[in-house]
Amino acid sequence: MTGSVRLKWLLSESDVRAKTAAETLPLLSVSISWGVRRREASDGTTRAASEDLSNYKVCRAGDLVINRMRAFQGALGIAPEDGVVSPDYAVLRVDPKVDKRWLNYYLSSGSTVSTMASIVRGIGGTEAGNVRTPRLNVSDLQSMNAPLVSEEEQRAIADYLDRETARIDTLIKEQQRLIEMLDERRVAVMNRAVRQGIRGNLRLRPHDDPSIGSIPEGWQAFPLRRLATSLDGARIPLSAEDRALRQGPYPYYGATAIIDRVDDFLFDEPLVLVAEDGFGLLFRSKPIAVAVDGKIWVNNHAHVLRANDVPAPLLAARIEVEDVAPYLSGSRQPKFTAGALKGMRLSFPPPEEWQEILDYLDGETGKIDTLIEETERFLGLARERRSAIITAAVTGQIDVRGVA
């Protein structure tokens, strides 16, 4: 490959608003993982019934769509169909002489994404996605250079990468399915242990409350307010801008996961964090209840519970396996209010069984977690391999001519 061309000669911005066309066109989204595709809502539709999409941008099949807030991480792709996208996205028409597959590979390659990271505008650094309110301006993108590649070579590179990435993607999907199966196994192990115990000779008896179901003899059911004290009043949310100015060693928790680190802490004791809002309460892609210990800061997306004379890890496990859907409110965003959480009734084992259940969970879930970690490492290597092949092909490090 010799020579280069400014992207402004290959890409032209389109800013057509949907207006009434929003009623018929599907809503598309852009992500780092899958590029451009339909945004599926919880009921299988592509939009919320109350959404007004008239000011959204129209994209046509073959347009390049860029999530400007995540472009520096590779969130872009070619639209597979006509649709509407967020008004904050960039929609660009591609020169008809350019192979769109090649352009997509080139723009999502590691070297190009690194260049985008160097020109993105926002607060903070782009390392590990820590830039605050980032934006990639279209004019900055158009000022970047692309290799001057013939149409024939573009097609050859795209064909080669289609084959190679398809093989890797198949392997990635198989490993992702393995992780899903391991997650299901983990939930089953937890569910049995914290609902029925691990003593095989325990007899189950129906509880007076039908919502509790059958519980082992010797177990009791309590409202959560008997098992824990809420510390929600001590939570303090910090904006992304504030956190950017207060970087430090202490974990900053969102719903139930660390989303940043700051220079101070609010809590320093064993606690249980329970997600307060979001569709994760229904779909469970991540835990909704976790036990934590040590110096941490928690925002207002997680309820903070101090366990009352029961082990925090056991309480977290018991909440985690509960179906919380009946306790949720909110139409557009599920909400697990403090009142609903404290009123939730849970079966709980007697003190003499606490440690044996915890030991069992540590052993069994530890084995599963090890397998998950190994699979995730393999996935990481596969994704690195995929990225390396793309970068090598679009920068001419691999001669794809004649490669079968």
360 with 265, same domain: the answer is no
Tally of CA atoms within 13 A in the half-sphere of 246 that contains its CB: 17
Q: Examine the domain organization and report whether 212 and 353 are in the same domain.
A: yes
Residue range of the domain that includes 140? 4-149
Q: Are residues 125 and 8 in the same domain?
A: yes
Backbone dihedral angles phi then psi of residue 147, each to the nearest 5 degrees: -60, 145
Residue 309 near residue 263 (C-beta atoms within 8 A): no
Residue 343 lies in a domain: no
Domain shared by 46 and 138, yes or no: yes
Residue 389: name the closest of 91, 71, 161, 237 by CA: 161
- Residue 234 sits in a domain whose CATH number is 3.90.220.20
* Cβ neighbour number for residue 399 with a 10 Å cutoff: 10
Instruction: Classify residue 371: in a domain, yes or no.
Output: yes
How distant is the alpha carbon of residue 340 from its chain centre?
26
Same domain assignment for residues 57 and 191: no
The 8-class DSSP code of residue 321 comes to T
The whole-model pTM stands at 0.77
Same domain, 13 and 121: yes
Considering the domain architecture, whether residues 132 and 206 belong to the same structural domain is answered as no
State which of 100, 122, 149 marks the end of a domain.
Answer: 149
- Overall domain count for the chain: 3
Last residue of a domain, one of 94, 122, 149: 149
- Residues of 34-68 as b/e, b for ≥16 C-beta within 10 angstroms? ebbbebeeeeeebbbeeeebeebbbbeeebbbbbb
Spatial separation of the C-alpha atoms in residues 321 and 214, rounded to whole Å: 15
Q: Are 191 and 184 in contact (CB under 8 A)?
A: no
**Rounded to an integer, what distance in angstroms lies between the CA atom of residue 313 and that of residue 339?**
22
* 76 & 212 share domain: no
> Does the residue 324 lie in any domain?
no
Name the packing angle between helices 351-394 and 100-108 (round to 10°).
Answer: 120
Q: Are residues 79 and 117 located together in one domain of the fold? A: yes
Nearest residue to 186 (alpha-carbon basis) of 36, 48, 366: 366
Residues 98 and 167 in one domain: no
Per residue in 180-224, pLDDT tens? 999 999 999 999 999 999 987 778 888 888 888 888 888 999 999
- Answer yes or no: do 209 and 355 share one domain: yes
List Cβ neighbours of 202 (8 Å cut-off, separation of 6 or more): 196, 216, 217, 218
Domain-ending residue, one of 127, 149, 171: 149
Structural domain includes residue 159: yes
CATH number of the domain bearing residue 174: 1.10.287.1120
pLDDT tens, the chain, 404 aa long: 568 899 999 999 999 999 999 989 999 999 887 889 998 643 344 455 447 899 999 999 999 999 988 888 888 999 999 999 999 999 999 999 999 999 999 999 988 988 888 888 764 444 444 545 678 899 999 999 999 889 999 999 999 999 999 999 999 999 999 999 999 999 999 999 999 999 877 788 888 888 888 888 889 999 999 999 999 999 999 998 999 999 999 999 998 899 999 999 999 999 999 999 988 888 888 899 999 999 999 999 999 999 999 999 999 999 999 999 999 998 778 999 999 999 999 999 999 999 999 999 999 999 999 999 999 999 999 999 999 999 999 988 888 876 65
The first and second tokens of residue 220, run together, are 């009791």
